[in-house]
Amino acid sequence: MKVFIRVVCVHLWLTLTVAAQAPEIFKVDPPSWWSGSTVNPVRLMIHGRNLHGARVDVQGLRIINTPAINERGTYIFADVFIPPNTPPVKRSISVTTLRGSANSSFEVLAPLNRAGRFQGFSPNDVMYLIMIDRFADGDPSNNGGIYDRKNKFYYHGGDLQGVIDHLPYLKELGVTAIWLTPWYDNYDRLNQIELKEDNPSTGFHGYNPQDFYTVEEHFGSLAKLRELVESAHRSGIKIIQDQVMNHTGPYHPWVDDPPTPAWFNGTKSKHLKNVFQTWALHDPRAVESLRRETMEGWFLDFLPDLNQHDEEVSRYLIQNTLWWIGVTGLDGIRMDTWQYVPNSFWRDWTRALKREFPNFKVVGEVKDGDVVHTSFFQGGKVRFDGVDSGLDSLLDFPLFYPIRHAFAEGKPIDEIPKTLAKDYLYTNPEILVTLLGGHDDGRFMSENGATIAGLKLANAFVLTTRGVPQLYYGDELALEGGDEPTTRGDFPGGFGGDARNAFSAGGRTKDQQELFEYIKRLTTLRREYEVLRTGELVNLYVSEQQYAYARRGPSGAAIIVINNDNDAASMEFDVSRLATGGVFKDQLGVSRPVQIDNGKMRVTLPKRSAAIFVR
């Protein structure tokens, strides 16, 4: 009996030891790819344990490299070749060592039909930024975890279904493209590393990914995301994904177990603190060390900085970008923290992107009010570092601040044309994304001096000047919120139990309804008059509180006149380059028709008003 027990024990010990050493697979990135892609082979990153010496097999496909395995045996990099017209099926993938084998899956997809997908964006669009968690709760069943609508740092229940449900509202407002804040899976716990107002917070905003290949469970699933893209496209609305390539969230599994030794710049215990010495990034005279803390420091000192100089990191991120597009059919990208990622990486990234999706467009976030700095990052030109980043567009922050100063605070309006005068520094100012509000700044209506009248003028300007106009959810209702995250408040009516539903006219106040109709009128005019989208911007008249400009095209011109003053104003200016005579009619119902005599236009506008004249 004793001997028998001992034998059983030894057997158990052996079984446990072998089991502990047998390989395991936790995750395969990417989980799928499509045939006919410009990326072939696809590099699989297999995460698991006990992977030392493993052989990788994918059912029916060939692995064409000798897989690289990291020192701890936790990551394998294997290149799978996908021949054209490979049947779209889910395949088993196995890793085998002397200790055993483990299985997972990898799916080959049929490529999506390109018609109506991967469309890019242009000045023909009106973009609308939605913070997913704060827009509309279309599926209360996913409101688990750290969810509390009374806590501004917690999840509030908004999701992808909520966006699908309100596509008709966006269509009515005249929106043609939705920029959604990141839908990557963020941590399912409270962030104790960065406290806000002494409070721990969730990643409800989406910018702290713990998994680049999964949809946040509070927002929905990959299937729901595909449904959103399809539904939006059926409504004539494009989808812009918000991506992050500079950093991961603080709780990403890579932080404690990096796939390669140089996966991050630094480690949790030893890294550069991020400084914002951003001017050095465009300074041809700065030595590299002057740029390092800005480029490689951990953002806000807690977001692990990805090292895009590492070949595996670069490959991983490029494939990750293409994967979201290729499996959903989405149309554009807003790239977070663009300036903190090396230009040489962006060059490779944009090349790979345009090779697969030639019409695709990217807008980068460089949060800076200086045109000299911002314009440096636009592609189409080789910079001092010998690199053309290939970036299409930038968020027009240099114009954002003057818009706020003039239309919210009532400061001189001439700061706007003075900023536009620097457009020559951009390789393509027409594609810049113009905005009067966003999720990282207090709302327009919380600025000192802000009024509905001023907000209307700001909208009139953004929707008639050059560029791609971007609206921020809730600004069309004059929502308030002076700081982050109050600037990310809940859309009234998007959530169960809301006192009123501002998605329909009956749920809006008189002011809100007037503002909504005003913006809708502007988007309608922009749609009806091509010249307001694509015409050349010509500055006609500038004084301290008045500004007149034209959009000039082959079929004529539209003349926009803004009086930002608290008194009525009359002005006379030369329009002979546009018209020598004729009657121009205001489309916003503010001014009487104006007769042009000898190339001169005389306009009188009431206080704080704008007119759009067309012949």
Range in contact with Ca ion (rule: CB under 5 A) among 79-87, 156-164, 237-245, 286-294:
156-164
The smaller minimum CB distance to Ca ion, of residues 57 and 139, is found at 139
The smaller minimum CB distance to Ca ion, of residues 185 and 423, is found at 185
133 binds Ca ion (CB under 5 A): no
356 binds Ca ion (CB under 5 A): no
The smaller minimum CB distance to Ca ion, of residues 165 and 476, is found at 165
* Inter-axis angle of helices 343-356 and 311-328, nearest 10: 30
The smaller minimum CB distance to Ca ion, of residues 293 and 414, is found at 293
Contact 305, 298 (CB under 8 A): yes
159 binds Ca ion (CB under 5 A): yes
Q: How many CB atoms lie within 10 A of CB 561?
A: 29
Task: List the structure tokens of 363.
Answer: 């807008």
The smaller minimum CB distance to Ca ion, of residues 231 and 446, is found at 231
CA distance 475 to 447: 13
CA distance 220 to 164: 12
- Collect all residues with Cβ–Cβ distance below 8 Å to 113 and sequence separation of at least 6: none
Q: Residues 449, 461, 472, 319: what is their CA dihedral angle, to the nearest 10 degrees?
A: -140
Range in contact with Ca ion (rule: CB under 5 A) among 256-264, 303-311, 554-562, 580-588:
303-311
Task: List the structure tokens of 398.
Answer: 């240099």
Range in contact with Ca ion (rule: CB under 5 A) among 69-77, 184-192, 252-260, 402-410:
184-192
Strand ordering across the sheet containing 536-542? 536-542, 546-553, 556-563, 609-614, 582-586, 594-596
- The CB-of-229 to Ca ion minimum distance in angstroms stands at 19
Of 422, 414, 448, 400, the closest CA to residue 564 belongs to: 414
The smaller minimum CB distance to Ca ion, of residues 257 and 293, is found at 293
Of 359, 362, 361, the closest CA to residue 115 belongs to: 359
The smaller minimum CB distance to Ca ion, of residues 305 and 475, is found at 305
294 binds Ca ion (CB under 5 A): no
Helix runs in 298-447, H state only = 311-328, 343-356, 371-375, 397-403, 415-420
Contact 182, 207 (CB under 8 A): yes
137 binds Ca ion (CB under 5 A): yes
- What is the maximum alpha-carbon separation in the chain? 117
- The CB-of-328 to Ca ion minimum distance in angstroms stands at 19
Residue of 143, 241, 465, 563 that binds Ca ion (CB under 5 A): 143
CA distance 590 to 562: 11
Range in contact with Ca ion (rule: CB under 5 A) among 67-75, 181-189, 309-317, 498-506:
181-189
- The CB-of-440 to Ca ion minimum distance in angstroms stands at 18
Phi-psi region at 494: left, alpha or beta (left = phi > 0; alpha = psi -120 to 50): alpha
307 binds Ca ion (CB under 5 A): no
- The CB-of-142 to Ca ion minimum distance in angstroms stands at 5
Subset of residues 460 to 499 that bind Ca ion, contact rule: CB under 5 A? none
Residue of 122, 142, 191, 202 that binds Ca ion (CB under 5 A): 142
Range in contact with Ca ion (rule: CB under 5 A) among 81-89, 208-216, 328-336, 456-464:
208-216
Subset of residues 52 to 81 that bind Ca ion, contact rule: CB under 5 A? none
The smaller minimum CB distance to Ca ion, of residues 228 and 594, is found at 228
The smaller minimum CB distance to Ca ion, of residues 182 and 442, is found at 182
211 binds Ca ion (CB under 5 A): no
Subset of residues 233 to 292 that bind Ca ion, contact rule: CB under 5 A? 246
Of 559, 561, 477, the closest CA to residue 519 belongs to: 477
Residue of 30, 31, 123, 157 that binds Ca ion (CB under 5 A): 157
CA distance 16 to 583: 90
The smaller minimum CB distance to Ca ion, of residues 364 and 417, is found at 364
Of 151, 155, 145, 201, the closest CA to residue 181 belongs to: 155
Range in contact with Ca ion (rule: CB under 5 A) among 81-89, 338-346, 420-428, 516-524:
338-346
DSSP 182-238: P-EEEPSS-EEEEEETTEEE--TTS-SEEEEEEE-TTT--HHHHHHHHHHHHHTT-E
Residue of 139, 242, 365, 392 that binds Ca ion (CB under 5 A): 139
The smaller minimum CB distance to Ca ion, of residues 85 and 141, is found at 141
Number of residues lying near Ca ion (CB under 5 A):
12
The smaller minimum CB distance to Ca ion, of residues 123 and 157, is found at 157
340 binds Ca ion (CB under 5 A): yes
388 binds Ca ion (CB under 5 A): no
185 binds Ca ion (CB under 5 A): yes
The smaller minimum CB distance to Ca ion, of residues 251 and 613, is found at 251
CA distance 512 to 479: 9
305 binds Ca ion (CB under 5 A): yes
Task: List the structure tokens of 466.
Answer: 């050059």
Of 239, 184, 179, the closest CA to residue 207 belongs to: 184
- The CB-of-332 to Ca ion minimum distance in angstroms stands at 23
437 binds Ca ion (CB under 5 A): no
Kindly state the helix (H) or strand (E) to which residue 83 belongs, with its residue range: none
- The CB-of-364 to Ca ion minimum distance in angstroms stands at 14
Residues near Ca ion (CB under 5 A) are 137, 139, 142-143, 157, 159, 185, 188, 216, 246, 305, 340
